[in-house]
Structure 1
Amino acid sequence: MKLDYLQALKRVDDAQGAWVLHGQEPLLEQNLLDAFRKSWNSREVERQRYDISSASDWKNVFNALNSLSLFSNQLAIEAHGNIKPDASALKLLKSYLQHNESNLLLIVMPKQDSSSLKTSFFQTIDANGVNVALTANYPKDRQQILAVEAQKLGIQLANDAWQWLEQHHEHNLLAAKNSLMRVADTYPEADIIQIDHLYACLQDQSRYTTYDLNDAMLQGNLAQSIKIFQYLIASGEPMSLILWSISKEMRLLMQLFEQPQNALQLGIWKTKIGLYQQALRRLNANEFLTWPALLLRLDASIKGLGHENPEHLVQQAIASLCGRRLF
């Protein structure tokens, strides 16, 4: 079964079997993950997370799904990565889908190209599970998604204000949501948000975003990258969002290194291809080998696991993306 983002949100509480979320819209991914985790917590569903770095990791996932804890009746497993099950793991997936009636396997992947969506794995999910593409390709789709975010904030926008917001952010849903939060805080008494409200609130803002951080890192500008990071932290940007942004750039650079002719298929904007190519020429490919472990340490530190300072680890990751070392 194929669902879009809004359809998926409505079915979170009833989800079971295997779901795949794939795309490059951080707002949609984070919202759905938050909805799932909230639902699991309210129903006392046991949750586990696995990061898939090799095909053999899938065996651990299916072993866990088939060995429920004595202290829980249901299990939800998040599997994050871009490595699909191989032939042996695909058999385990099919067996799980046929015999497991209550657990949920939630697979979170980056954007998939058309050839990937035709593989046996996705055919199995389409036939027996749920396939959710985290995309918003049309203005109507983006406005519907942002209208839900505006409703959460208790605000309404005039029709032309929606058009102005989309043009201002060039289809960037996450940045648009941040702007909705800002205008809601700035004009709490406004019945309808007009273009004048948005313009006054946003046009003269020199506020940095994670996208400014990404550009600075790709340019190799360490001083500017650290400055933007410190600004984001001071302004309350969630550390998990900063991690997502850094990990996305690392993943794209590693993929582009292996597939230099497939920049557009990997989801890199045409206007940004040169920036990524310059970054690859500047970076040492051996450094890529250290990135997965660094991201895992950073993810653990943000969740309060271990004793490392997440801000220090973020600065290490930023420096590595810039082709530099802090220590």
Structure 2
Amino acid sequence: MKLNAAQLARQLANELAPVYVVSGDEPLLTGELADLIRQACRAAGCEEREVYHVERGFDWSQLYDASHSLSLFSSKRLIELRIPGGKPGDDGAKALLAWLDDLPEDITLLVSLPKLDGSTQRSKWAKALVDHTHTRFVQVWPIEPAQLPNWMRDRLAAAGIQAHPDALELLSTRVEGNLLAAAQEVEKLKLFCQGQVLDVETVGQVVADSARYDVFGLADAMLQGQPQHALRMLNGLRGEGVEAPVILWSLSRELRALSSMADDLARGLPIDRIFAAQRPPVWDKRKPLIAQALKRHPQQAWPQWLRIAQHVDEQIKGQQPGSVWDGLTRIVAEVSGARLML
């Protein structure tokens, strides 16, 4: 049975299920949900906890032995199974299915997984974890940039802090993509905002710039037509030590795909057919993003940016003079919709 975070809290307050699965790539959110499950287990009398980390060569017979052994200290136990790779292999799949087919009494199983890819979601063991009557499967989704101010507002409110909208905006900008840093900053702000409304000045003085970005997020920001945001992400990646060839690879990949799709559009092909023909096909979530980018720029713009990307590649290889980062900045700014004074 699938649950969201709010439903999980209500379910834990009513009863303890035999199996819980928490899946997602955001450490803060998945960790907090796992803590809720642990607290509920302790409240239900689980005084013993065993943790198994599934790595290469993991002996899955340990899980069977744990389910059939008697506890020396408590009648109820919590067994945690952490699968950081997201794929237990054939032996692990059999062990998980065997557990579900013969649920041990007085044992709660907590399985921690990263976000599962499409092929894994279709596997027999994953479907069993999602659909089994006695399992509670919680998928943890990342907090999107547009959702972050509200998430921060709720987080601050839970800590007893009211925040001015401008302070929320600045705070969200400084911790974007890094929820662990966001949680730490909230704890820090509790020392400075007792009985006061959090303002921009306090955020500026107290909160470090802890934004964390990735090259795929940069490509999305660029295609969304957000020049300031995209350029800030580019500078953030550079500051974090991400190499220029990695960023160029991501941007060039998008530009090649967009250039090809722009040509197909000019030939009169339907946009849905163009999306489906891509390899891999365009995800539903990205279709509006790419459609807007194609509409924003003329067909001939995409090969021009590809030529700039080629020039940057030659600069990286030492075949051309000039700044690699200037070229990357020009691509990001112009595809985002801004014009640079050159």
Q: Normalising by structure 2, what TM-score?
A: 0.53
Distance verdict in 2 for CA 1:75–1:207, change over 3 Å: same
The superposition leaves residues 259-298 of structure 1 with CA deviations (integer Å, 9 ceiling, x where unpaired) of xxxx969xxx996599567899xxxxxxxxxxxxxxxxxx
Q: 1:120 to 1:44 in 2, by over 3 A?
A: same
Shift of 1:78: 1.0
**Which residue type is aligned with residue 120 of structure 1?**
K
Structure 1 position 6, deviation (Å): 3.0
Write the letter of the residue equivalent to 1:202.
V
Contact 1:80–1:108 at 8 Å: present in 2 too? yes
Structure 2: stretches of 5+ with no match in the other structure: 222-232, 247-342
Note the alpha carbon deviations across 1:11-43, whole angstroms, 9 max, x for none: 335343322222221211221232223333333
* Separation in structure 2 between the aligned mates of residue 142 and residue 29 of structure 1, nearest angstrom: 17
Q: Of residues 124, 127, 140 in structure 2, which corresponds to 1:134? A: 140
Match of 2:159 in 1: 153
Q: Does the 8 Å CA contact 2:18/2:109 hold for their aligned counterparts?
A: yes
Assess, with a 3 A threshold, how the Cα gap between structure 1 residues 84 and 205 changes in structure 2: closer, same or farther.
Answer: same
- CA 1:278 to 1:139, structure 2 compared with 1: closer, same or farther past 3 Å? closer
Q: Give the Cα separation in 2 of the matches to 1:186 and 1:141.
A: 25
The one-character-per-residue Cα deviations of 1:140-180 (angstroms, maximum 9, x if unpaired) are: 76566545533431223355544443233224322222232
Aligned to 1:4: 4
Determine the structure 2 residue equivalent to 1:95. 98
**SS of the residue aligned with 2:66?**
helix
Give the SS at the match of 2:55: coil
Supply the distance in 2 between the matched residues of 1:264 and 1:121 (Cα, whole angstroms).
30
1:69 equivalent among 68, 71, 79: 71
User: How many residues of Structure 1 are paired with residues of Structure 2 in the alignment?
Assistant: 224
Q: Is 1:165 matched up with 2:171?
A: yes
Higher mean C-alpha displacement, 78-87 vs 27-36: 78-87
1-side partners of 2:69 and 2:148: how far apart? 41
Structure 1 segments unaligned to the other structure (5+ residues): 216-262, 281-327
The answer (yes or no) to whether the contact 1:54–1:83 under 8 Å persists in 2 is no
Q: 1:171 to 1:120 in 2, by over 3 A?
A: same
Match of 1:84 in 2: 87
| Aligned positions of 1:103-118 closer than 5 A | 103-118=107-122
| AA of the residue aligned to 1:103 | I
Structure 1: which amino acid aligns with 2:56? S
Structure 2 residue 184 is matched with structure 1 residue 178: yes
TM-score (structure 1 length as normaliser): 0.56
- The aligned amino acid for 1:54 is R
Partners in 1 of 2:153 and 2:116 — Cα distance? 27
Q: Tell me if the contact between 2:54 and 2:88 (Cα under 8 Å) persists in the aligned partners.
A: no
| Alpha-carbon distance in 2 for matches of 1:64, 1:57 | 12
Matched residue SS, 1:20: strand
CA distance in 1, matches of 2:52, 2:160: 36
Aligned to 1:316: none
The residue that corresponds to 1:16 in the other structure is 17
Residues of 1 paired with 2:167 and 2:187: CA distance? 15
Deviations 1:219-259 (A, max 9, x none): xxxxxxxxxxxxxxxxxxxxxxxxxxxxxxxxxxxxxxxxx
Superposed, 1:219-234 pairs within 5 Å as: none
Q: Cα gap change, 1:23/1:176 in structure 2, threshold over 3 Å: closer, same or farther?
A: same
Q: 2:64·2:95 contact (CA, 8 Å) conserved in 1?
A: yes
- Determine the structure 2 residue equivalent to 1:26: 27
Aligned-residue Cα RMSD (Å) equals 3.8
Q: Distance in 2 between matches of 1:4 and 1:177?
A: 20
In 1, Cα distance between the equivalents of 2:60 and 2:154? 35
How far apart in 1 are the matches of 2:112 and 2:208?
30
What is the correspondence of 1:294-305 to structure 2 with a 5 Å cutoff?
none
Does structure 1 conserve the Cα–Cα contact (< 8 Å) formed by 2:25 and 2:140? Answer: yes
| Separation in structure 2 between the aligned mates of residue 68 and residue 84 of structure 1, nearest angstrom | 29
Identity %: 24
Aligned to 2:201: 200
Matched residue, 1:255:
none
Q: Secondary structure at the match of 2:195?
A: coil
2: CA distance between counterparts of 1:102 and 1:4? Answer: 25
Larger radius of gyration: 2
Question: 1:52 & 1:119 partners in 2: Cα distance?
Answer: 18
Deviation at 1:94, TM superposition (A): 2.6
